[in-house]
Structure 1
Amino acid sequence: MPTLAVRQAARVVVLDEDDRLLLLRYEENGGFWATPGGSLELGEDHQAAALREAREELGVERIDLGPQLAVRSKEHLVGGRPVRQVEKYYVARVRAADVDPERATQPDDIRAWRWWTLFELSAGGQTVYPIGLGDLVADYLVNGDSGTPAEII
């Protein structure tokens, strides 16, 4: 079995001043909600990629990037080719009023932007990736940065 190419990615757990979480809606694979983010560009580290992706997908200029909360490794297709994507998740703070999808320069296949309370996230009914995102955010809000990124699926 051939070794899969590794694709490094950064994702952003975006929280507003009311501790709501911003998720993006995609329609592929039956539809799901996910955090902003994407692959690293040549010479870019994960933190720089997280900031760039948030600017590109959310149209926001001021982002306070915090600690890495989690890491996730997932095999999937990119451009029709199988890869093992390794994602690092960083928490970031933005003012809700500063998010402007009209200024997004790379909206990709994003169909909607929505702020979620932890209660709404835990109520279910929608597919949200990564699995356990609500618990990860709740733990961060209660306990702060653990210093060790959680491994999530």
Structure 2
Amino acid sequence: MTTSTPPLREAARAVLLDAEQRVLLLRYEENGGFWATPGGSLEEGETYAIATFRELREELGVDEKAVELGPQLAERSKDHLVGGREVRQVERYFLARVTESDVDPSRATQPDNIRAYRWWTPAELRCTRETVYPVGLADLVTAVSEGRTPDKPVVLAG
């Protein structure tokens, strides 16, 4: 019996914080509905930084000049279906800071299946009954808000 590893799909995601240390999450309805950080797969020849800027523009209408891009905070690997095909998605999460007014979904060029967006405090993330990805995001946002940016990227679950 042979088992094969699904093809690799690299993705860049933003832990997008405002001045009040709230994180912006996007709402999707598939798979029972969930909230997730903005981001997506790298295009050919892109760096993670360029992909992060592109995804913020495409999904939220954020101008690259308005984004203060920080270090990679975390990484997550997950096998899942994309377009009906199983892939092993490896996501790198980068700290990004904007003002709330820099986010303008009416300027988004590819809003995909985003149903809503919302700014969350770490306390709201901890007490919600809704599904939020990645697991461990509340702890990560709390650490960054308190000035405890990880020295090296942390590994997040599911």
Sort the TM-score into its range (normalised by shorter chain).
over 0.9
**Aligned equivalent of 2:70:** 66
Q: How far is 1:76 from its partner? A: 0.2
| Structure 1 partner of 2:40 | 38
Q: TM-score, normalised by structure 1?
A: 0.97
Q: What is the number of equivalent residue pairs in this alignment?
A: 153
* CA deviation after TM superposition for structure 1 residue 147, in Å: 2.0
* 3-state SS in 2 of match to 1:137: helix
Could you tell me how far 1:51 is from its partner in structure 2? 1.1
Is 1:89 the counterpart of 2:106? The answer is: no
1:22-50 deviation line (CA, Å, top 9, x unaligned)? 00000000000000000000000111111
Q: Cα deviation per residue 1:103-124 (whole Å; 9 max; x = unaligned)?
A: 0001000000101111111112
Alignment RMSD, CA only?
0.9
Match of 1:109 among 106, 110, 113: 113
Identity rate, percent = 61
Match of 1:133?
Answer: 137
Of 12, 26, 29 in structure 1, the residue corresponding to residue 28 of structure 2 is: 26
Gaps of 5+ in 1: none
TM-score in terms of structure 2 length: 0.94
Aligned counterparts of 2:28 and 2:129: Cα–Cα separation in 1: 15
Equivalent residue letter for 2:40: G
